[in-house]
Structure formats: C-alpha cells, structure tokens
C-alpha cells in the first residue's frame, strides 16, 4: 500500500505543479487566452453575421481566409523561428540580441508580404476556383467566386498592418509581455465587431439609409480597420514604454544583422518557416479534398472550425507558454527546470482539453442553428464538431510537443514532425479517399485526423528523450 501511495505521490510531483507553478503559468497564458478567446468569439460573431447573409457569402469568405491562412502561417512560422532566439536572448538579458531578431523579422516580413500579395493578386481567382466543385448549382458557385474576389481585394489593404503588428507583437510577447497584446487584441476585435454590424447590414434611420449594407465587403473593411487599430496600439506602446521594452531603443539605428546571427537564424528559423508554409498549404489541400463533396462542405467546415477554435484556446495558449517560459529557461541555462516545467504544461493542456471537448460536444447541436443556411449544412457542422471534440486531447498533446521541440531549436525535427507528416500521411489519405471512394466527408475527416496518433507517439518519444534541451544563445561574435 505504501508503495502505491509513493508511486502516486511521485506521479503527482512529476506531472502536477504547486500553486506557484500554476500562478506563473497562468500569468503568462491567461492574457493570451483572453486575447485569443475574445478574438475567436468576435470571429464567431463575425462568421455568424456573414453566415446570416447567405451560404454563398459565407463560403466565399471562408475560401479567401483559407488562402490567406497560408500567408499568415508563413509569417507566424518565420517570426516563430526567429522568436526562438528572441526568448532565449531575453532570458540571457542580451538586449542587443533581441534587437537583432527584431531587425531580421523586418526583412522577413517585407519579403513574405511581397510574395503573398503578388501570388494572390495574380492567381487569386484560379486558387479560389480550386475549392468550387460539383455538388452545387453553377449559379451558386459563380456567386461564391464573385463574393470571394471582392472580399480578397479589400483584405489586401490590411497586409502592411498585419506584418508590422506581427514584428512588434511577437517580439514583445517572447520577452514576457503578454498583457499588452491582449489589450490591443481586445481593442481590435471590438472595433471589428462594431464595424461588422454597421457595414455588413447597414444602418437605416427613419427610412433613410445612413450607412449602406455592404455585405461581405463590409466585413472586409471592418477587418482592415481593426488590424490598423491593433497595430497602432502595439507600436505606440513599444516606443513610449522603453523602460519595459529596452530593446526598442536604437532598434532602427541599422537594419543590418551580424553574419553569425543571421546564419543561426536561417539555420534554425528557415525549417520552421518552410514547415509552416508546407503545413498550411497541406491544410488547404485537405480542405480542397473535402470540398470535392460539394459547396455545402465548405460552409459546414467553416461553421465547425470557427466554433471549435473557441474551445481550443486553452491548449493553443499552452503552446505559447511552452515557447515563452521554456524558451527563457533554456536561455538562462536552467535545463532541468525547463524539462520539469514543460512536462507539467503538457499535462495541464491535455487535462483542460478533455474538459473543453466535453463542453463542445454538449453544445454541438446548438451553435450551427445560429447560421442562415440549410439544414444539411447545420447537421454536417454539428457532426464535425463532435469529431473534433473526440480528437481534442490528442491535438493538445501534439500541439504542446511540437512547441517543446521548437523551443529548443529543433526545427528540422519539427519540420518532419509537422509538415512532412502532413504531406506524407494526411494529404495522401485525404486525396485517395476523396477521389477514389464514395465515403462521406465525415469519414474522410476522421481517417485523416486519426492518423495523428502516429505524431503523438513520435512526439512522446522525442520529448521524453530530451533532444530539445538546448541553449541557443551562445553565438559567436564574428560578423
């Protein structure tokens, strides 16, 4: 009996932290959770507003967002790769090192934004057309294409604000300041919410149309304005609070990055950027494969994913906690503490994903009814939500193990773990099942998602072996 109690006590110490541990972790993650929660909630309301206009409008916006998602993920991946060094430099109290990462992000942001704009501007209609497949009337498909093109042309205006925001916010967050991005995010989503209501439906007072109803174009304008609001708050704060962000002083004195640092950023960061690019393209390919079952599938996945994201903010935020907390511990050379902290964060994320999965499954039949769409779309969205809930604990574990490997600079491994797996396993499964079988889309989705069990096993082995425990801040001084 004593042995059993001792084993139980050992397990608790290994996977469960004390009050101070959770106070520290929640201090980092709660602002991120609030920001993501509010952002996802407003995205949900935004989605519902567009969805109440019509299925074609909702599908058009969803397709464009799927394409822009590739650009976003490339930016997040690139910034995240450099951000590995940002967190560790900050943990080592090396402000000049943090400035170097900021300057590298500026160059990266300009290059990625120029490429994304050129590709979408030139090939946008053709890329949208890949998602418009049989299963709906031709008129519906053409209407969806028209709405998507109009929405995308306006969204282009938000690209400069988005990239400046990511350069500043990713640096500020990696240095432990998570409250400011939360406040800026709240301001942005509230701006987006108000403008969405006014511009999508218009304002009619006393029989006079004060603000025209712009539909999906109104939603795009609201998004653009909210991005510039968020960017302005972050940039102004950074340059007026240099005591809290000392790395901002002199950051634009030069945009040159030392050769040794740039080499390390490229070696460690480029695999992460390529990973995010290939992974996001792979995700878009999966959606395109699902769309072969008809336009209703696009609408149903749009509803399901928007709502599911609301219930996933805990384990998504825990990934940020791994990057920030574990990255700083590694930079400070507290390797054993980093290992212990990481294990407890993963356990915390999986535990809460079980709770949120149960809640999501319990309300899966309610949320889709808020949309002005067909009963078939609502029913399919509900089933997809239940499937997502079932797989949520597995997703939480995979997500945190991915960020664990990334925090220690193991970007080649994360590349194999993430995008290589997507293209070698997930994409072929979706392609074969969608093109060469008559399986319904729910079955295809479940087969694709269940394959991630392989990633769970690989992630467990790699994290347990400690291959990620590295201090990356010891870079030579040569230029």
- Is a pLDDT exceeding 80 seen at residue 299? yes
Radius of gyration in angstroms for the set of CA atoms belonging to the chain, rounded to a whole number: 23
pLDDT in tens, 308-362: 888 888 777 887 778 778 877 887 888 888 888 888 888 888 988 999 899 999 9
Q: What is the pLDDT of residue 380?
A: 94
pLDDT value of residue 95: 87
Kindly report, residue by residue over 40-64, the tens digit of the pLDDT: 676 667 777 887 787 888 888 888 9
Rounded to whole angstroms, how far apart are CA atoms 178 and 317?
11
Q: What is the pLDDT of residues 80-131, one digit of tens each?
A: 888 878 888 888 888 888 898 999 999 999 999 999 999 999 999 999 988 8
Q: Tell me, what DSSP letter sits at residue 252? A: T
Position 60 scores a pLDDT of 87
Contacts of 128 (CB under 8 A, 6+ apart): 60, 63, 64, 67, 145, 148, 149, 152
Given this model, what pLDDT does residue 198 score? 93
208: β partners? 205
Question: Tell me, what's the pLDDT at 472?
Answer: 66
pLDDT band at 136 (very low <50, low <70, confident <90, very high): very low
3-class SS at 452?
coil
Q: Kindly list the distances between the CA atom of residue 275 and the CA atoms of 75, 105, 224, 398, 421, in Å, as whole numbers in the listed order.
A: 11, 17, 27, 15, 10
Lowest mean pLDDT segment, chosen from 6-10, 33-37, 270-274, 461-465? 6-10
205 φ/ψ angles, rounded to the nearest 5 degrees = -120, 120
Q: Which structure tokens are listed for 327?
A: 């990255």
User: What tokens does 363 get?
Assistant: 């309300």
What pTM value is reported for the model? 0.73
Contacts by residues 436-445 (CB-CB < 8 Å, ≥ 24 positions apart): 440/293, 441/290, 441/293, 441/297, 441/380, 442/380, 442/383, 442/384, 442/387, 444/289, 444/290, 445/290, 445/384, 445/387
What is the distance of C-alpha 110 from the center of its chain? Answer: 20
Residue 3 has pLDDT above 70, yes or no: no
- Is residue 137 over pLDDT 60? no
User: What mean pLDDT is predicted for residues 388-392?
Assistant: 94
- Length of the chain measured in residues: 479
Please state which of the ranges 32-46, 93-107, 169-183, 195-209 shows the lowest mean pLDDT. 32-46
Q: Is a pLDDT exceeding 90 seen at residue 177?
A: no
pLDDT for 312 equals 81
Most confident listed range (109-123, 238-252, 253-267) = 109-123
Q: Between residues 443 and 132, which one has the greater pLDDT?
A: 443
More confident of the two residues 343 and 476: 343
Residue ranges of E strands in 158-315: 203-205, 208-211
Distance CA 344, CA 333 (A): 19
């Amino acid at each position: 009996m004593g042995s059993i109690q001792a084993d139980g006590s050992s397990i608790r110490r290994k996977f469960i932290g004390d009050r101070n541990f959770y106070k520290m972790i929640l201090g980092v993650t709660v602002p991120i959770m609030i920001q993501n929660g509010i952002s996802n909630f407003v995205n949900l309301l935004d989605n519902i507003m567009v969805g109440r206009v019509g299925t074609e409008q909702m599908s058009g916006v969803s397709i464009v967002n799927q394409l822009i998602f590739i650009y976003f993920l490339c930016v997040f991946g690139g910034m995240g790769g450099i951000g590995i060094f940002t967190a560790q430099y900050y943990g080592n109290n090396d402000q000049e090192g943090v400035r170097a990462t900021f300057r590298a992000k500026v160059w990266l942001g300009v290059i990625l934004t120029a490429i994304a704009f050129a590709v979408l501007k030139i090939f946008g209609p053709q890329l949208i057309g890949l998602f418009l497949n049989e299963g709906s009337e031709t008129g519906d498909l053409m209407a969806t294409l028209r709405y998507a093109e109009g929405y995308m042309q306006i969204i282009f205006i938000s690209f400069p604000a988005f990239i400046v925001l990511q350069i500043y916010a990713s640096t500020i967050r990696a240095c432990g300041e998570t409250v400011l991005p939360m406040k800026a995010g709240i301001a942005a989503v509230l701006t987006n919410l108000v403008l969405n209501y006014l511009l999508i439906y218009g304002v009619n007072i006393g029989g006079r149309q004060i603000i025209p109803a712009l539909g999906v174009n109104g939603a795009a304008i609201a998004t653009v304005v909210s991005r510039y609001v968020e960017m302005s708050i972050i940039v102004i704060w950074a340059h007026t609070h240099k005591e809290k962000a000392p790395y901002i002083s002199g950051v634009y004195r030069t945009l040159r990055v030392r050769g040794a640092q740039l080499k390390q950023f490229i070696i460690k960061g480029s695999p992460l950027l390529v990973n995010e690019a290939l992974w996001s393209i792979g995700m878009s390919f999966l959606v395109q494969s699902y769309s072969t079952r008809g336009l209703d599938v696009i609408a149903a996945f749009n509803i399901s994913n928007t709502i599911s994201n609301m219930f996933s903010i805990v384990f998504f935020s825990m990934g940020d906690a791994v990057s920030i907390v574990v990255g700083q511990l590694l930079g400070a050379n507290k390797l054993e503490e980093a290992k212990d902290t990481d294990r407890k964060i993963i356990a915390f994320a999986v535990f809460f994903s079980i709770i949120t999965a149960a809640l999501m499954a319990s309300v899966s039949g309610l949320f889709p009814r808020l949309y002005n769409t067909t009963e078939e779309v609502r029913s399919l969205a509900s089933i997809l939500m239940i499937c997502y809930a079932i797989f949520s604990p597995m997703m939480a574990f995979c997500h945190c193990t991915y960020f664990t490997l990334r925090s220690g600079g193991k970007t080649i491994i994360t590349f194999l773990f993430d995008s290589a797996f997507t293209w070698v396993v997930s994409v072929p499964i979706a392609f074969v099942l969608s093109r060469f079988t008559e399986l319904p889309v729910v079955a295809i989705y479940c087969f694709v998602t269940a394959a991630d069990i392989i990633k769970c096993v690989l992630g467990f082995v790699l994290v347990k072996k400690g291959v990620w425990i590295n201090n990356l801040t010891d870079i030579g001084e040569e230029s």
